[in-house]
Amino acid sequence: METDTAKLKQMLVDAITMMERAGIIDFNGHFSARLPGDRMLINSGRSVRSALTVDDIVTIDLDGNLIEGDAVPPMEFHIHAQTYRRRPDVNAVVHTHPYWSTLFSMAGQPVLPVIMQAAVLGPIPVFPKTASINTRPLGEELAECLGDSRVVMLKSHGAVAAGGNIVETFVLGVYLEETAQKQYMASRLGTVTVLDAEQVDTISRNLWKPHLLRKVWDYHYGKRG
């Protein structure tokens, strides 16, 4: 169990580092992994996302009580806790502050399946409140807005992705930002073609496979500093 936990801590460090390098997480993003017994690993609130180590990963319960580590969790740990309470299928959650996709929520425009990778994102609801999710009620509202989706946008704030493991969740965050950037750039040229429901279904089933998701992880891992 200690070996498994150590591996998860290192994966969280790698995921956050890669997302920071890609401009998807900034000084306030956070990534968590579920542990047995209603606990989670998460980077601390004071951690420097551009210089993260395993010592910055703390263990807390779903009420935010510190179990292991020497720093408090981020104020928005409620995003993670309430998602885990509502979604037993979710084992990793990331809250990002992405550049391109946040522009869409600021303008009230949806991020659409305009590239193949976007097919795995599924429907993307938008949480309508512009606020830090720093209370349990707000966390519950956000988890309800996420519902059974993989990704939710936070209006004028950022995004949340939830997956079965760290790699899945990392890829969702990456694909959301890639889709938003390409959608925006293509819209400057003219009308953007959106994948239809049949295309989304077929492509999603083809791309949502562990070895293909790992390929995305390995690509970014190779680029880390």
Confidence of residue 217 (pLDDT cuts 50, 70, 90): very high
Mean pLDDT of 88-96: 98
Residue 144 CB: number of other CB atoms within 10 A? 12
Q: Which two tokens stand for residue 206?
A: 């083809």
Segment 55-82 shows an average pLDDT of 97
| Overall average pLDDT of the 169-173 stretch | 98
**pLDDT value of residue 129:** 93
Q: Which amino acid is at 96?
A: T
Cβ(112)–Cβ(102) below 8 Å: no
| Local confidence band at 143 (pLDDT 50, 70, 90 cut-offs) | very high
Q: Are strands 151-154 and 126-127 parallel, antiparallel or unpaired?
A: parallel
Average pLDDT over all residues of the chain:
96
Q: Which pLDDT does position 224 carry in this prediction?
A: 78
Q: 70: number of CA atoms within 13 Å, CB side? A: 2
Number of structural domains (the chain) is 1
Residue 2 has pLDDT above 80, yes or no: no
What is the value of pTM for the model shown?
0.96
| Exposed/middle/buried for residue 74 (C-beta within 10 Å: 0-12, 13-18, 19+) | buried
CATH number, domain containing residue 53? 3.40.225.10
Residue 61 Cα distances to 42, 109, 141, 174, angstroms: 10, 36, 19, 27
For residue 3, pLDDT over 70 is answered with: no
**What percentage of the chain reaches a pLDDT higher than 90?**
97
pLDDT value for 188 = 96
Cβ count near 209 (within 10 Å): 11
- At 113 the pLDDT is 98
Name the token pair of 62: 């779903």
Tell me the average pLDDT across 93-102.
97
Least confident of 35-44, 165-174, 216-225: 216-225
- pLDDT of the residue at 225: 65
Among 94, 92, 113, CA closest to 165: 92
Average pLDDT over residues 140-161: 98
> CA 167, CA 120: separation in Å to the nearest integer?
14
pLDDT at 69 > cutoff 80: yes
Q: Show the domain range for 134.
A: 2-223
